[in-house]
Chain A
Amino acid sequence: MAERISRTPVREQDPKIRAHNFDEVCYGFNAEEAAREASRCLHCKNPRCVGACPVEIKIPEFIAKIVAGDVSGAAAVIAEDSSLPAVCGRVCPQETQCEGSCILGIKGEPVAIGKLERYVADNAPESKPEIAPKNGHKVAIIGSGPSGLACASDLAKMGYDVTIFEALHKAGGVLEYGIPEFRLPKERVLRREIDEVKALGVKIETDVIVGRTVTIDSLMGNEGFEAVFVGTGAGLPRFMNIPGENLNGVFSANEFLTRNNLMMAFRDDYQTPIHAGKKCIVVGGGNVAMDSARTALRLGAETTIVYRRTEVELPARREEVGHAKEEGIEFRMLTNPVEILGDENGWVRAVRCIRMELGEPDESGRRSPIPIPGSEFEIPAETVIMALGTSPNPLIAKTTSGLTATRKGGIEADSEGRTSRPGIFAGGDAVTGAATVILAMGAGRKAAKAIDEYITNK
């Protein structure tokens, strides 16, 4: 048997240089690299990668098209199941999904499915999707993040008259305010995907906070929307509730990232202030923690991530952890803040932490961190960023009659997105709590089907 070819490395910006700029880290595959990597796929009879993809993209099929040199064909295969391939190719946790199930991964390196998806999305010529004739039915989508965009584009293709209401001044939701430019370029990638949704006839009304500016009841009662999809995400930051958390210089990751991403604080020509300080501590181990740390680093702060478990348990994508390390972020594992200490002016001067050890596995199956008594120590810092996860915003549940909320403030919905109130559907983080872009997108697409069924059978 011939020696298998190894996984094709992807070209990236030099860590020393990219630590000082916000340009995209990863350059992606060129045609030659993509063809080489695509040739590694074994085209399994029962492709495990497809089953491991939350939206079941026909992975071997699109890879076969790349091998055949048919990028448009590959894009068409992906488009059957995904509406945001350029985004998902960049931000999906492939190592726990498609690539994590790849047979090649057992003895060697899995096929770089994410990078191939991205290659296709970035290089396929713009396609003209088929749009059914207008059916005259109006549907409102609340939130322009991944679930809302996916739901809107599917409905628009079916002929619905779709309006997305977005609370912020730019569409994209977490893709806009949360994920930094160096991981997801806004103009080149995100705007393009949003423009494609608009090209289907979807209207996007920014600056409308449903629950304040209008309500779902008024949209359905007075504005003629027959169904509503709630894709409002999980936007509320969590704090640790430890002493000193309201000192100057302590920020939620949401604030820090929103200032930098949505409000473009990293650019001199924008007025947004941002304060990273000389030494920054980021608390948390997820993608948002990595994004915050790498943003602070790029703004000039020497940055440390503290996480209460070990590196194995870090919930962030492997690639982001690797990138963060290459760029010079310090990782202090088994470390948990107990207090933030301030100077005489009320600014952060240090974080008092305690060392942790791993005990028995908890309900999540992960070994739970236990503080080691008497092990407290201080890490000096000028700023602290709390990246501890987010929860759904309760505003919609509170202001809509007949809508049942979950205990955690999310909206109760079944697997098809149907809520307690007929005509109102929900999906993505607003239902599940903070999860991934691809799950949200999948939920938006399922809800689009359920909305179509609902309106057709009304």
Chain B
Amino acid sequence: MFKILSKKMLTHNVCEMDVSAPRIAKAAKPGQFLIVRVDEKGERIPLTISDYDREKGTVTIVTQEIGASSTALVAKEAGDYFADVVGPLGNPSEFVNKSDEELRGRRYIFIAGGVGTAPVYPQAKWLHEKGVAVDVIIGARNKDLFIFTDRIAAACDNLYLCTDDGSAGFKGVGTAMLEKLVAEGHEYTKAVAIGPMIMMKFATVTCKKLGIPIDVSLNTLMVDGTGMCGACRVSVAGKTRFACVDGPEFNGYDVDFDEALRRLGQYKSEEAEAKAKIGI
């Protein structure tokens, strides 16, 4: 059992939790994910790690109520327990294994959307602490949906906010912001997009156009998360890869996003049934 130490609602349906998981906290690196099972009868829910504190032995997860399982997760309170938390899973971000030498002179631009904003934080922080130039673009439909902005602002050189409705920051999507920045003369050696699959697809299209290499963090369907089931398979450069053990981050240029988007919908009818059952 894994105790939830704190819980905070970040928006009306997105919550942040610190969970006691000392072994995971000790081993976690930016870019990795974990799997939570809320209770004995729950699904295994993969979530990208949004922060970790090795001393306190905690990991931070950020979850949006979407289906029956994530709603059950968000319904938990501080002091409650999750049946299972397992991780860290997947590979750390590519820069984690790079030497300071290799990182010198690099300029990173992160494009974050939705709950994908949270896991940008440990990545930006890692780079920022090493003195690598990091800019972050966070996109949201409106100003009430931003999360993690203060923390990320402190962990990067420049933070750019955009909203679809113009209620805060730049009016437009994150990729439009990126194009604007590049047009203004900003140069980036690497982009990283974390967010909804469709957003990462368009971030990749934009980066290709701008000639910026991009990594994307794929949030595919998963069961075990250890390479056993293959539910997370994705075509990368024409080859089938498993997001759980070969990823979760891949070179965006190589990812077959249309297939990945289609595969995300594989249990849509079952999900709808589950939601109807609990009346959401």
The answer to whether B223 touches A255, judged by C-beta atoms less than 8 angstroms apart, is yes
A-B contact pairs, 13 of them (CB 8 A): A169-B86, A208-B86, A209-B89, A213-B23, A214-B27, A235-B227, A239-B230, A254-B228, A259-B229, A273-B267, A273-B270, A273-B271, A275-B266
Q: How many angstroms between the C-alpha atoms of A207 and B44 in the bound complex?
A: 11
- Stretch from A132-140, A147-155, A186-194, A244-252 that touches the partner: A244-252
Q: How large is the interface on A (under 10, 10 to 19, 20 to 34, 35 or more residues)?
A: 35 or more
Q: Does B191 contact A (CB under 8 A)?
A: no
- Stretch from A36-44, A263-271, A420-428 that touches the partner: A263-271
Q: Does A11 contact B (CB under 8 A)?
A: no
Q: Which residue of A lies closest to B223 (CB)?
A: A258
Binding site for A on B (CB under 8 A): 23-24, 27, 37, 41-44, 68-69, 72, 83-89, 223-224, 226-231, 233-235, 240, 245, 259, 262-263, 265-267, 270-271, 274
Q: Which residue of B lies closest to A215 (CB)?
A: B27
A70 to nearest B CB, angstroms? 40
Residues of chain A within 8 A (CB-CB) of B262 are 248, 345-346
Interface of B is mostly: mixed
B230 to nearest A CB, angstroms? 4
Add 13 more A-B contacts to A167-B86, A251-B230, A393-B227 (CB < 8 A).
Answer: A169-B44, A169-B84, A213-B27, A239-B240, A241-B240, A246-B259, A263-B43, A263-B223, A271-B43, A271-B72, A273-B267, A273-B270, A274-B270
Q: Which residue of A lies closest to B86 (CB)?
A: A207
The answer to whether A209 touches B84, judged by C-beta atoms less than 8 angstroms apart, is no
Residues of chain B within 8 A (CB-CB) of A239 are 230, 240
The answer to whether B271 touches A236, judged by C-beta atoms less than 8 angstroms apart, is no
Of the listed residues A212, A259, A269, A345, the one surrounded by the most CB atoms of chain B closer than 10 A to its CB is: A212
Residues of chain B within 8 A (CB-CB) of A168 are 224
What is the number of contacts between chain A and chain B, taking CB atoms within 8 Å? 107
Residues of chain A within 8 A (CB-CB) of B235 are 246
The answer to whether A252 touches B229, judged by C-beta atoms less than 8 angstroms apart, is yes
Q: How many angstroms between the C-alpha atoms of A346 and B265 in the bound complex?
A: 10
Q: How many angstroms between the C-alpha atoms of A241 and B229 in the bound complex?
A: 16
Of A206, A248, A255, A393, which contacts B263 at CB under 8 A?
A: A248
Q: Given A271-B68, A273-B271 in contact, is the A246-B84 Cβ separation under 8 Å?
A: no
The answer to whether B240 touches A272, judged by C-beta atoms less than 8 angstroms apart, is no
The answer to whether A254 touches B88, judged by C-beta atoms less than 8 angstroms apart, is no
Interface of A is mostly: loop
Q: Given A246-B235, A393-B227 in contact, is the A169-B267 Cβ separation under 8 Å?
A: no
A211 to nearest B CB, angstroms? 9
Interface residues of A in 216-273 (CB under 8 A from B): 235-237, 239, 241, 245-246, 248-249, 251-252, 254-255, 258-259, 263-264, 269-273
